[in-house]
Amino acid sequence: MSKRKLAVIVLAAGQGTRMKSKMPKVLHALAGKSMLSHVLSGVEKLNPERIVVVVGPGAKAVELAAKPHNTVVQTDRLGTGHAVKQAFGALGGFCSEGDAADIMVIFGDTPLIKTQTYEHMVDLRRSNDGPKLLGLAFRPAEPGRYGRVKQDAQGHVVGIIEHADASDAEKAIELCNAGILLGDGPTVYRLINQLDNNNAQGEYYLPVIFDFAYAEGLDTRAVEASEEEVMGINSRQELAGAELVLQKRLRADAMAQGVTLIDPATTWLSVDTKFGRDIIIEPSVFIGPNVEIADDATIKAFSHIEGAKIGEAAIIGPYARLRSGTVIGQGGKVGNFVETKNAILGEGAKANHLSYIGDAEVGAKANIGAGTITCNYDGFNKWKTTIGEGAFIGSNTALVAPVDIGAGAIVGAGSTVTKSVADDALAVVRGRLLDKAGAGASFRAGRKKIKEQKSNQNNENNKG
């Protein structure tokens, strides 16, 4: 197998009007990651010498998302062939006769293609007597609108015909064009420069180069992939469909790693989730980006987690929300209706119910009572609360940051703590109980009399 350089051109200049969005189409997310990021990570594993992303005019957000790769602008959107031509200026050493180089063209809105599929194309291209040009094809259940891949008896690609231009016999062809291609760099460069836009749309159609190549007697082939793998995304409905496909893959990968998903269909994962083994995830759990879950942890139902690290044998939920910056130590517990943000809970620390722990550090084996909140925001700045090892915070306590609760300290229920508490101290901050005998009955009688007086006055007004 020959060693050749590889350049990848990613076409990401589409306007995506059917998405009905201010956001460029390729930046819409699947499993916590933009479509473009999925596409780039898929081909980065091929270790190409160069990746060039073709973007539309003014698409600064797409250029930023494409970093560190080069971007070029397609000012006039004149079709896929024209888009590829814009990238040639950034591909010195891949296009001249004699360059031992290949060029792959892919799409920024086709994020489900597996790296193994790209690898198969590259391996075939680099094999002894590998084809000069090959494309990715598929057999859809409903081939309707797709371009058809025409082949001769030996399996060479004769050409690709658009559905609108196809005859009845050509429409009967089951093999359809996915748009992805790979070929000898100088050959791809030469063939694309032969394209014209002499058609009703006035566009340069990339697939036409297969017709040119076959006419020259070059070896042209097709590699097949599944329909769901080559799914392009042009609308919110198609985005939702792709999300389902990707979630199915992520769930299967998680279970293969040793994670128990009690109801896989209601578990939502992100592509960067890191799992240990023997983790149990109950139904209706959402895991957003940047989450790590260690061995033997349990995530109970209806929990929402993002940007968090969960330690070994920790128990989260049900109905817990862990936000960015949360770190739960080994054996820690975050229970129902507890929210954490930028909070570190040490080994064995517990916040079992109805609490908010934000911008805080909680020591090992500390216990946070129900209804406790760390008052971390004063309207202008965020402040930190520190709770020492083994401390006990009674129910319905407000810790007004910045404040430190010492190791082993006890804070009585219902306290509002504005000053630090020393190690092993007992802090109780409450108003005096005022108990006036019979005052409740007197209050009710007085209010009843006022109500009756108002009612009588209204009746007199109505008579008048």
371 labelled as ligand-binding? Answer: no
449 labelled as ligand-binding? Answer: no
Contact 54, 39 (CB under 8 A): no
80 labelled as ligand-binding? Answer: yes
59 labelled as ligand-binding? Answer: no
Contacts 24+ apart (CB under 8 A), 55-63: 55/12, 55/13, 56/12, 56/13, 56/14, 56/15, 56/24, 59/12, 59/13, 59/24, 61/23, 61/24, 61/27, 62/12, 62/24, 62/26, 62/27, 62/36
Taking each helix axis from N to C end, the angle separating 185-192 and 208-215, rounded to the nearest 10 degrees, works out to 110
356 labelled as ligand-binding? Answer: yes
376 labelled as ligand-binding? Answer: yes
The DSSP output letter for 421 is: B
Contact 381, 399 (CB under 8 A): no
461 labelled as ligand-binding? Answer: no
Contact 162, 147 (CB under 8 A): yes
CA separation for the pair 288, 209 (Å, rounded): 42
437 labelled as ligand-binding? Answer: no
Among residues 28, 69, 156, 353, which one is catalytic? 353
CA separation for the pair 306, 158 (Å, rounded): 50
11 labelled as ligand-binding? Answer: yes
Residue 353 appears among annotated catalytic residues: yes
113 membership: H or E segment, kind and range: none
329 labelled as ligand-binding? Answer: no
Q: How many CA atoms lie within 13 A of 411 on its CB side?
A: 35
CA separation for the pair 162, 177 (Å, rounded): 9
109 labelled as ligand-binding? Answer: yes
Contacts 24+ apart (CB under 8 A), 297-304: none
115 labelled as ligand-binding? Answer: no
258 labelled as ligand-binding? Answer: no
79 labelled as ligand-binding? Answer: yes
462 labelled as ligand-binding? Answer: no
441 labelled as ligand-binding? Answer: no
Contact 310, 290 (CB under 8 A): no
221 labelled as ligand-binding? Answer: no
74 labelled as ligand-binding? Answer: yes
Tokens 């694309």 correspond to 192
The DSSP output letter for 173 is: -
In 28-79, which residue ranges form alpha helices assigned H by DSSP?
Answer: 35-44, 60-66
What is each CA distance from 135 to 181, 186, 356, in whole angstroms?
4, 17, 54
Binding annotation for Mg(2+): 109, 234
Binding annotation for acetyl-CoA: 370, 376-377, 395, 413, 430
Binding annotation: 11-14, 25, 74, 79-80, 109, 147, 162, 177, 234, 323, 341, 356, 367, 370, 376-377, 395, 413, 430
Binding annotation for UDP-N-acetyl-alpha-D-glucosamine: 11-14, 25, 74, 79-80, 147, 162, 177, 234, 323, 341, 356, 367
Q: What are the residue numbers of the active site? A: 353
